[in-house]
């Protein structure tokens, strides 16, 4: 599955991308340690936090209602019969990358953007690339597990009823991967209008999957919701680190110097 390919690539590159800021050779060990701690915090906030698991459960329950009734099929038929046209096909074409291509394109984009941000000394660019990468990495196991565990079909294959491990279409991986970078940008934006625009764009990949009759509404909605939760836990982890008090001790010729630093 293309999403599994992305996960393997992501795990191999995580420690390289995660540490913040510029590094020199002497700082590599510390940077790697920070990267490991960052990954652990993100996964803990997603998979061990009761509040986040409750939110995920609510999302699954909502998707189940659409999938196991006639609602998904009604939305699919309504869209395909009344809304789909040559214009919608053209409008959604930019989001129609195959799963493998999406996996292979996304990682280099994050890495290239991160490197460009470092070269340009632009902390906003590096922050966006890092947060997007982390959110994709932390949410991907959920997508990879739930897609076959739900076992639903594509619209062209059958209905969206949940039949565990009968098929692998229960969650739209395209929607998840395509939504993360724009949800991240929305969360980083302080302008409410810009925030709304980014949130809107984050749904475009999912809409393209519905337009092309590749996924039911519940599968797209669940993919987007997992992307949202993933971005939220990354933001939560960053907030905790920024509020942490750092105390450092250093030996000086006439005693000990104590430095107290808190990031806001």
How many whole angstroms separate alpha carbon 116 and alpha carbon 129? 10
Paired with 249 in beta bridges are 258
Angle CA 251–254–255, to nearest 5: 45
CA distances from 17 to 1, 34, 135, 219, 221 (A): 24, 11, 13, 30, 29
CA distances from 3 to 144, 186, 228 (A): 7, 24, 17
Q: What is the mean pLDDT of residues 12-40?
A: 59
Q: What is the mean pLDDT of residues 29-58?
A: 88
Q: What is the mean pLDDT of the chain?
A: 83
How many whole angstroms separate alpha carbon 215 and alpha carbon 173? 10
Those residues whose C-beta lies under 8 Å from the C-beta of residue 200, and which sit 6 or more positions away, are: none
Angle CA 144–236–218, to nearest 5: 35
Phi and psi dihedrals of 120, rounded to 5? -90, 0
- Percentage of the chain beyond pLDDT 90 is 63
Burial 221-231 (b: 16+ CB within 10 A, else e): bbbbbbbbbbb
pLDDT tens digits for range 132-166? 999 999 999 999 999 999 999 999 999 999 999 99
> How many domains, in total, are found in the chain?
1
pLDDT higher for 19 or 89? 89
Q: pTM for the complete prediction?
A: 0.82
Q: What is the pLDDT of residue 132?
A: 95
Q: What is the pLDDT of residue 83?
A: 95
**pLDDT band at residue 101 under the 50/70/90 scheme:** low
pLDDT tens digits for range 64-83? 999 999 999 999 999 999 99
pLDDT tens digits for range 175-210? 999 999 999 999 999 999 999 999 999 999 999 999
**pLDDT band at residue 100 under the 50/70/90 scheme:** low
Q: Is the pLDDT of residue 256 over 60?
A: no
Q: What is the pLDDT of residue 30?
A: 60
Helix (H, G, I), strand (E, B) or coil at 7: helix
Cβ proximity of 102 and 2 under 8 Å: yes
Cβ proximity of 224 and 206 under 8 Å: yes
Q: What is the pLDDT of residue 98?
A: 66
Helix (H, G, I), strand (E, B) or coil at 167: coil
By C-alpha distance, which of 228, 79, 207, 56 is closest to 145?
56
Q: Domain range spanning residue 227?
A: 2-262
């Amino acid at each position: 599955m293309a999403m599994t390919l992305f996960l393997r690539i992501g795990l191999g590159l995580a420690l390289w991308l995660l540490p913040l800021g510029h590094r020199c050779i002497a700082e590599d060990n510390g940077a790697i340690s920070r990267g490991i701690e960052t990954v652990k915090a993100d996964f803990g906030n997603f998979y061990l936090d009761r509040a986040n698991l409750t939110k995920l459960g609510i999302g699954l329950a909502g998707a189940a209602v659409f999938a196991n009734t006639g609602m998904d099929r009604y939305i699919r038929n309504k869209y395909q019969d009344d809304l789909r046209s040559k214009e919608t096909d053209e409008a959604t074409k930019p989001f129609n990358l195959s799963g493998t291509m999406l996996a292979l394109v996304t990682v280099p984009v994050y890495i290239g953007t991160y490197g460009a941000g470092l070269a340009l000394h632009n902390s906003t660019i590096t922050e966006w690339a890092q947060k997007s990468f982390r959110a994709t990495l932390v949410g991907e196991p959920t997508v990879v597990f739930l897609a076959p565990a739900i076992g639903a079909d594509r619209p062209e294959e059958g209905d969206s009823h949940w039949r565990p491990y009968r098929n692998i279409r229960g969650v739209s991986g395209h929607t998840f991967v395509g939504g993360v970078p724009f949800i991240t940008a929305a969360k980083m934006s302080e302008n409410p209008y810009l925030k709304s625009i980014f949130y809107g764009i984050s749904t475009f990949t999912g809409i393209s999957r519905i337009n092309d009759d590749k996924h039911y509404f519940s599968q797209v909605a669940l993919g987007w919701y997992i992307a949202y939760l993933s971005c939220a836990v990354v933001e939560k982890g960053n907030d905790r680190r920024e509020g942490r008090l750092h105390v450092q001790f250093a030996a000086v010729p006439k005693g000990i110097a104590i430095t107290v630093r808190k990031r806001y």
